[in-house]
Structure 1
Amino acid sequence: MSNTTVAGREGDTTDQLIRSLDAFDALPDSVALRARSYDLLRLTPGAAAVDVGCGAGRAVGEMAGRGVKATGVDVSEQMIAVGRRRLPEADLRVGDAYELPFRDGELTAYRAEKVYHELGEPARALGEARRVLAPGGRIVLIGQDWDTFVIDSDDPVLTRTIVHARADAVRSPRAARGYRNLLLDAGFDDVTVEVRTGVFTDALMLPMLSGIAHAARSTGAVTADRAGRWIEEQSELARIGRLFVAVPLFVAAARRP
């Protein structure tokens, strides 16, 4: 799974998705969050790191800029192709979180941003993370909890229905709230968890909002008419500068003993 932001992949073509990712990744809060993840990994020049779900490789390039031997892994051949065009010197590989292309204990740092909610078996992925990390190696997981999107609306009941219906369509929608226990169960220690909340008040979030409404409609949780009216409301709020969306992001870090 590519490094998906809260923009999601709702109805996007690959080109549209990449534009959405680029816009979100360029936000100051996104830049700061990635920098925080590198600090939590305690990266030093020469360290060997992997970014799982690397997308087009932005984090891989940033870690390489710190002197780190960084590798990006993503299941999407298209995203890896984009990354290779943008970063021809980067080590970007097609692969998945369950079978990483590294020897036991080969890495000192493991990073996965907005990936684990797309995994049907998060615990299995963490077992693989533990395998490739050397003793003392660090891991950082970043992700949103799909049940905790906060969206202002004149119809809070409908909004709650849409948010929960979309969450139920995600493989592991509450993986982020479980990061701490997942890491402990996988045998990691020195586990810490932080919360960073992204607040959005402009049209940048409209593709995501439309996507979750359409997803709720497709599951039968809401009618097409109700989903359409809700999208119209959010679009109008964006137009007049009154949109409000808050997305808590959980940042968990730990050490392999």
Structure 2
Amino acid sequence: MTAEHPLLARLDRADALPGATELREVTYELLRCRPGDRVLDVGCGGGRAVAELGARGIHAVGADRDPRMLAAARTRAFEFVEADVLRLPFADGEFRGYRADKVLHELTDPAAAIVEARRVLAPGGRVVLCGQDWDTLVLDSDRPSLTRVIVHARADTIAGPRAARQYRALLVDAGFAEIAVEVRTMVDTDGSLLPLLDGLAAAARSSGVVAAAQVEGWLAEQSARVAAGRFFLAIPIFVASATAPERP
């Protein structure tokens, strides 16, 4: 199933990275849900979080608009629905928890998604958002100016590359309470995240902002750093949580 969907393959690799399991656990704890509570995981991908929440006794529901993703997710034998995060097919106040991991940066209107999250949450329900700011990636390189250009070239291909830094404002605007934001940094020193740099390089090449030879030299430097034990990449992951207020 993984070979049939490149995005699913990337998500599986990301979920297996050092620190990824611990980060998911943080999001589960912030939901503050008890066994039997209904939790919606939007953009559920292959359904790993839904399965892990289900193992805690939580009635987790996964929603994704990609039917191929859902086909993979359904092999985990939990509840999954095909749905648009902006128009969820659920009643008002149906859930005690709402989780969106690596989702809002894919949207041109993340504010609308947060308004919809509030709609489907019961008063006192919890929302948890998790993702990276695509302009914020820390890579040790002999060519820092080139690195900056390449990182921004990739960010420019994303619908909402800076959505993560907007989490708090989005939650404020939607009327949520008890808003908190924290940053968990994923650090790679052995090259586990080297494939991520291939994606950055591809975006820089296709945009034409950097010559192909420069991109290849940049990648070669990072591969050499891995071989020499000198690789360093840090990705800040923003985690926001809040509580749905009583309805007017």
Q: 1:14–1:248: structure 2 CA closer, same or farther, 3 Å change rule?
A: farther
Q: Which one of 118, 130, 135 corresponds to residue 147 of structure 1?
A: 135
Instruction: Look up the match of 1:36.
Output: 26
Distance 1:111 1:224 in 2: 39
Instruction: Look up the match of 2:228.
Output: 240
Instruction: Look up the match of 1:200.
Output: 188
SS of 2:108 mapped into structure 1: coil
Say whether residues 1:209 and 2:192 are aligned partners.
no
Q: 1:143–1:70: structure 2 CA closer, same or farther, 3 Å change rule?
A: same
Distance 1:120 1:190 in 2: 26
Instruction: Look up the match of 2:88.
Output: 100
Distance 2:14 2:149 in 1: 26
Q: 1:234–1:28: structure 2 CA closer, same or farther, 3 Å change rule?
A: closer
Range 135-144 or range 236-245, more displaced:
236-245
Q: Which one of 46, 51, 58 corresponds to residue 41 of structure 2?
A: 51
Instruction: Look up the match of 1:188.
Output: 176
Say whether residues 1:126 and 2:114 are aligned partners.
yes
Structure 2 letter corresponding to 1:246:
A
1:95 Cα shift?
A: 1.5
Q: Which one of 118, 131, 152 corresponds to residue 164 of structure 1?
A: 152
Q: Is the 8 A contact 2:108 2:159 kept in 1?
A: yes
Instruction: Look up the match of 1:78.
Output: 68
Distance 2:144 2:3 in 1: 30
1:13 Cα shift?
A: 6.5
SS of 1:228 mapped into structure 2: helix
Q: 1:241–1:19: structure 2 CA closer, same or farther, 3 Å change rule?
A: farther
Q: Is the 8 A contact 2:5 2:68 kept in 1?
A: no
Distance 2:17 2:152 in 1: 27
Structure 2 letter corresponding to 1:119:
L
1:55 Cα shift?
A: 0.7
Structure 2 letter corresponding to 1:232:
A
1:51-95 deviation line (CA, Å, top 9, x unaligned) = 01111101000111111110001122111111112x12x011222
Q: 1:141–1:153: structure 2 CA closer, same or farther, 3 Å change rule?
A: same
Distance 2:80 2:229 in 1: 39
Say whether residues 1:226 and 2:214 are aligned partners.
yes
Distance 1:226 1:246 in 2: 22
1:200 Cα shift?
A: 0.9
TM-score for both structures, normalised by structure 2 = 0.94
Distance 1:21 1:241 in 2: 26
1:203 Cα shift?
A: 2.9
TM-score for both structures, normalised by structure 1 = 0.91
Unpaired runs of 5+ residues, structure 1, are 1-11
Range 206-215 or range 27-36, more displaced:
27-36
Distance 1:58 1:21 in 2: 10
Q: Which one of 9, 25, 29 corresponds to residue 15 of structure 2?
A: 25
1:21 Cα shift?
A: 2.5
Distance 1:156 1:128 in 2: 40
Distance 1:168 1:13 in 2: 27
1:38 Cα shift?
A: 1.1
Distance 1:159 1:148 in 2: 11
Structure 2 letter corresponding to 1:65:
A
